């Protein structure tokens, strides 16, 4: 498929889909996700001399744009994140309203959520490397520490607490960096929106006990959440999640916290000490900050004796998500439109529990693979780059064609089944009439 070729389209815009429209400075190109309150679009901002940058734009649904409390909450989130300048926190670029449409423009993260990574690792491969979990959690901890340290213009601490630290809110880019997202329920001094008494915000199974019991919380509540994520990522199972909310809360507040070594004897003792320190219910004895947790994890990684940085994370991600990377890359280059590529293939695999109760393999705790450096930096010529891009576009074309063919076959099978059922019913009716 050449770059100039029009993409195949099976239907027009869905109701409410703004793909192809202009919103402020942003050209909305493809809808990436749709939630109850807002939709996320891959968008482009253009400048002089061919300058172009991809961004993500959260567009609030029209029925919620007039909700003053929701608008205030989104404005709070935008103002807060705009003050955080850290590579492990998703940055906010703009916030505005046009034609009663409220929107927030953010850094576009070309990657996958930790939830999707855990599913691909544990559910599909039966293993998720502990070094990978440690690297991602350490990065997330660095970003959260930057938020926790945030001060106002006078240098007064804002006492920020994310309150919703979970695998869904950590995105790992294909370059290997983990980025914390979604500060919509953050607790901070000076916010105009205030959580009503008795209302709990966040994912119950990742919340700290003091958060669930209505006690005063601080940055150490986010440290607990990171500890839960680390426990689950390295063991491939849920720590506190019950069959219903009440059971989950009871487990978080009073349930036993099983040491990882009791599940698998191959669990590294140093890593276990880090996990269990973050999961101490006594707040005063818990790991004191996200920065300390990051230091501990990086010391553990250093002890593996091999590089475990962004390059290694990116290599794992590109190999594990080669199918989704193909689609994500295509989205950056194909023309505007909701049906030009199968965006549905990027659904974040979060609808059900991604972890089970399988056997933890010893290979989970092996150091990252060591790639021998070549010492050669390859410079790609324009002709080679054009050929590579053409090959990639052709592969996208073949992939989309195969996916559409499979979809048509599925529809045809359903149609054949219905026809067979109708014929069988008609035959049965005719037989009953003859018998009568």
pLDDT tens track of the chain, all 436 residues?
A: 333 333 333 334 555 788 888 998 999 998 888 777 888 999 999 888 878 899 999 998 887 777 777 788 888 888 888 899 999 999 999 998 888 888 999 999 999 999 999 999 988 888 899 999 999 999 999 999 999 999 988 888 989 999 999 999 999 999 999 999 988 777 766 554 444 444 455 589 999 999 999 999 999 999 999 999 999 999 999 999 999 999 999 999 999 999 999 999 999 999 999 999 999 999 999 999 999 999 999 999 999 999 999 999 999 999 999 988 888 888 887 766 555 555 555 655 544 455 766 678 878 898 888 876 655 555 666 666 666 666 666 666 666 676 667 667 767 777 777 888 788 877 777 777 777 6
Strands (E), 278-323: none
Distance CA 75, CA 96 (A): 9
Distance CA 24, CA 30 (A): 16
Query: Angle at which helices 310-320 and 130-148 pack, to 10 degrees?
Result: 120
Total residues found in the chain within this entry: 436
Handedness of CA 354, 359, 363, 364 (dihedral sign): positive
Selection from 232, 234, 215 nearest residue 282 by Cα: 215
Write down the pLDDT at residue 362.
79
Distance CA 179, CA 171 (A): 5
Please list the alpha-helical segments (H only) found in 122-192: 130-148
pTM of the model: 0.79
Distance CA 137, CA 367 (A): 16
CB 425, CB 432: distance < 8 Å: no
Q: Which residues are catalytic?
A: 164
Distance CA 125, CA 381 (A): 37
Write down the pLDDT at residue 190.
57
Q: Where are the domains of the chain?
A: 111-312, 382-436
Indicate the Cα dihedral angle 125, 138, 311, 44, nearest 10°: 90
Distance CA 175, CA 168 (A): 19
**Which superfamily is assigned to 111-312 in CATH?**
Transferase(Phosphotransferase) domain 1 (1.10.510.10)
Distance CA 94, CA 104 (A): 6
Helix (H, G, I), strand (E, B) or coil at 28: strand
């Amino acid at each position: 498929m050449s770059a100039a070729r029009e993409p195949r389209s099976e239907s027009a815009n869905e109701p409410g889909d703004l793909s192809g429209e202009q919103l402020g400075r942003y050209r909305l190109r493809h809808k990436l996700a749709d939630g109850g309150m807002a939709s996320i679009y891959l968008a482009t901002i253009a400048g002089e001399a061919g300058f172009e940058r991809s961004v993500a734009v959260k567009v609030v649904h029209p029925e919620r744009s007039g909700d003053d409390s929701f608008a205030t909450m989104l404005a709070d989130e935008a103002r807060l994140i705009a003050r955080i300048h850290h590579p492990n926190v998703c940055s906010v670029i703009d916030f505005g309203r046009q034609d009663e449409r409220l929107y927030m423009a953010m850094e576009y993260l070309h990657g996958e959520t930790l939830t999707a990574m855990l599913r691909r690792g544990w559910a599909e491969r039966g293993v998720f490397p502990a070094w990978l979990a440690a690297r991602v959690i350490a990065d997330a901890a660095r970003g959260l520490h930057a938020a926790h340290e945030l001060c106002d213009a006078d240098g007064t601490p804002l006492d920020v607490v994310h309150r919703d630290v979970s695998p869904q809110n950590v995105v790992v880019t294909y370059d290997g960096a983990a980025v914390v997202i979604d500060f919509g329920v953050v607790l901070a001094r000076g916010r105009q929106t205030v959580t009503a008494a008795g209302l709990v915000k966040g994912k119950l199974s990742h919340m700290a006990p003091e958060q669930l019991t209505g006690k005063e919380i601080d940055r150490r509540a986010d440290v607990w959440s990171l500890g839960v994520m680390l426990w689950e990522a390295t063991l491939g199972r849920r720590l506190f999640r019950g069959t219903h909310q009440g059971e989950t809360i009871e487990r978080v507040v009073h349930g036993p916290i099983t040491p990882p070594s009791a599940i698998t004897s191959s669990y590294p003792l140093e890593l276990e000490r880090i996990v269990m320190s973050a999961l101490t219910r006594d707040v005063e004895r818990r790991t004191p900050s996200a920065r300390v947790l990051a230091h501990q994890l990086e010391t553990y990684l250093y002890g593996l004796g091999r590089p475990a940085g962004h390059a290694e994370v990116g290599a794992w991600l590109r190999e594990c998500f080669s199918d989704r990377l193909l689609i994500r890359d295509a989205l950056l280059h194909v023309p505007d439109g909701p049906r030009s590529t199968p965006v549905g293939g990027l659904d974040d695999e979060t609808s059900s529990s991604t972890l089970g109760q399988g056997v933890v393999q010893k290979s989970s705790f092996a150091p990252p693979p060591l790639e021998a450096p070549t010492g050669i930096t390859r410079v790609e010529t324009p002709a080679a780059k054009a050929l590579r891009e053409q090959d990639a576009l052709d592969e996208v074309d073949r992939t989309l064609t195969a996916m559409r063919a499979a979809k048509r076959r599925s529809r045809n099978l359903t149609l054949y089944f219905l026809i067979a059922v109708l014929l069988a019913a008609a035959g049965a009716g005719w037989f009953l009439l003859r018998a009568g």
